[in-house]
Structure 1
């Protein structure tokens, strides 16, 4: 009986670690956040949900192989989420299910290996790795394998408070390559489960990012669809621990970088969030004169 209980407890611990790894996609080491993120992806697309599970599992398995027990990144469940994002990209941009699954597994493996290397390099500068490994790996295969078929026209939506509110929630969905206000609302609920202020910052970042894109000339239908808010939302989450003004700077920087990358004809993914967050972290360090050694994963709150 004691052996069975111990086995059940070990399985429960592994399941919580798996969910926390998914939660790290939105910078939260929280099992409830991860579970709600999975539910958000499942509601948007069962196919994408399979990709999320494949990528997270692959990333976790590789991390156990390449890392020592007790390594900070392994302890904090910081490897699985890059594998998850790499796999989600494969299932998003490749139509054939078999090819998408194969690319997802390979991409998740390489993203996890790269995360290990980049974590050590960026630790010298006290910068978090964020989703940079998944972005780099996806950029490597995207020009070769991505299908550029017609995705359909975005329906026209009348402007107003309710559409703008829906757009703020929908702006969170592309963080997991999902779409729709329902998926975004479930992601917001996951952030709320970790810390209510996190949900507030994410929604504020999504709304402000959408407005800035609109001011920059983005089509109203695209803005109201929620396609313009996810990088700003992530940047707000990353910079909020540094203070309100840095969060606002990060949001603006993410939008500017995203527009520049889009103009270059490159799939931005979450690169604007990563670059804006790194810039704001360095800026805050310079302005505050901070020279103390800190944890490079400080923006991934523990809960």
Structure 2
């Protein structure tokens, strides 16, 4: 809550800014979207919802110390979401609450500081930092503190997803599980699982900007299809783990037309390579694919923030 420390800021303004910073997780500066994202995480895991709030609060407080109150990032509530994602990662990969809480706070602090530095470094290429700070910080502590995966996220809903042979034999029966899996593909954006969490995130996008809800769902479905063609198993497809990077990439590159499809394919390829190497990709595929497209496709006649999904609703 970077605004909250100023005496002239009302509680309503502070809470709205805080909620907007959470909405930036799905590239929307919208308070209602932020509230729905918290609800999505809460319905999956109250523990993770607490982590989300702790990380977002830590990020906003640290940002109020290291950044100017009139900076672009502060005005557009871009500080809290990397802290939130860093804290979510800590609670997702560490089972012990005390250890997870300590790592979450420290990770949120470092992710926010790194976001500030990367914002300055990437200005020359007119690139947003997206979730890269949270990813980099998580990769740093992951080998030291993470617990072995329980497999719960992968197994959720696995029985509902048919194999490719079944799809070819009865394509009409494939669409209901595909739609459910594409919906669930939005949930891992906030380290959650299930179609209910995905539906709430889709609602958050619709409330902020209806076309973005369509783009995210279509991106998740396309990512799911590409992963299926790449040999991903039924459990992984049904869990939603194959859709979230494609959905985020669809949001961040939609203004580049056909290049957005190339970005989604590139993001999926990165995911497949990371899975083969056994490296947790997190949202790195989305970040890298978005950067590549934006570096090579950006039109020089457009201002740096033209169509930037991070500032689509400055008054929301």
TM-score by length of structure 2 reads 0.89
Of 253, 261, 286 in structure 2, the residue corresponding to residue 273 of structure 1 is 286
CA RMSD, aligned part only?
1.7
Displacement of 1:300 after TM fit?
1.1
d(CA) in 2 for partners of 1:9 and 1:17? Answer: 11
Q: How does 1:283-302 map to 2 (within 5 A)?
A: 283-285=296-298, 288=299, 290=300, 294-295=304-305, 298-302=308-312
Change (3 A) 1:123 1:9: closer
d(CA) in 2 for partners of 1:81 and 1:133? Answer: 10
State yes or no: 1:205 paired with 2:219: yes
State yes or no: 1:195 paired with 2:209: yes
Structure 1 window deviating more from structure 2 (33-42 vs 254-263): it is: 254-263
- Is the 2:161–2:237 Cα contact (8 Å) retained in structure 1? no
- The alignment partner of 1:300 has SS state of helix
State yes or no: 1:260 paired with 2:273: yes
Aligned length: 293
- The alignment partner of 1:174 has SS state of helix
Displacement of 1:269 after TM fit?
0.2
- Is the 1:58–1:109 Cα contact (8 Å) retained in structure 2? yes
Q: Which runs of 5+ in 2 are unaligned?
A: 1-6, 163-173
d(CA) in 1 for partners of 2:231 and 2:42? Answer: 33
d(CA) in 2 for partners of 1:164 and 1:23? Answer: 26
Deviations 1:228-257 (A, max 9, x none): 0000000000001222x1221111111011
Q: Which runs of 5+ in 1 are unaligned?
A: 1-6
- The alignment partner of 1:56 has SS state of helix
State yes or no: 1:170 paired with 2:180: no
d(CA) in 2 for partners of 1:149 and 1:165? Answer: 26
Deviations 1:256-298 (A, max 9, x none): 111112222211000000000001111212xx4x266523992
Change (3 A) 1:116 1:47: same
- The alignment partner of 1:127 has SS state of coil
- Is the 1:87–1:104 Cα contact (8 Å) retained in structure 2? yes
Change (3 A) 1:297 1:148: farther
d(CA) in 1 for partners of 2:149 and 2:88? Answer: 18
d(CA) in 1 for partners of 2:124 and 2:208? Answer: 29
Q: Residue 12 of structure 2 corresponds to which residue in structure 1?
A: 12
TM-score by length of structure 1 reads 0.93
Q: How does 1:228-239 map to 2 (within 5 A)?
A: 228-239=242-253
- Is the 2:184–2:197 Cα contact (8 Å) retained in structure 1? yes
Give the 4+ runs in structure 1 shifted more than 3 A: none
Displacement of 1:190 after TM fit?
0.2
Change (3 A) 1:130 1:58: same
d(CA) in 2 for partners of 1:188 and 1:250? Answer: 21
d(CA) in 2 for partners of 1:241 and 1:91? Answer: 34
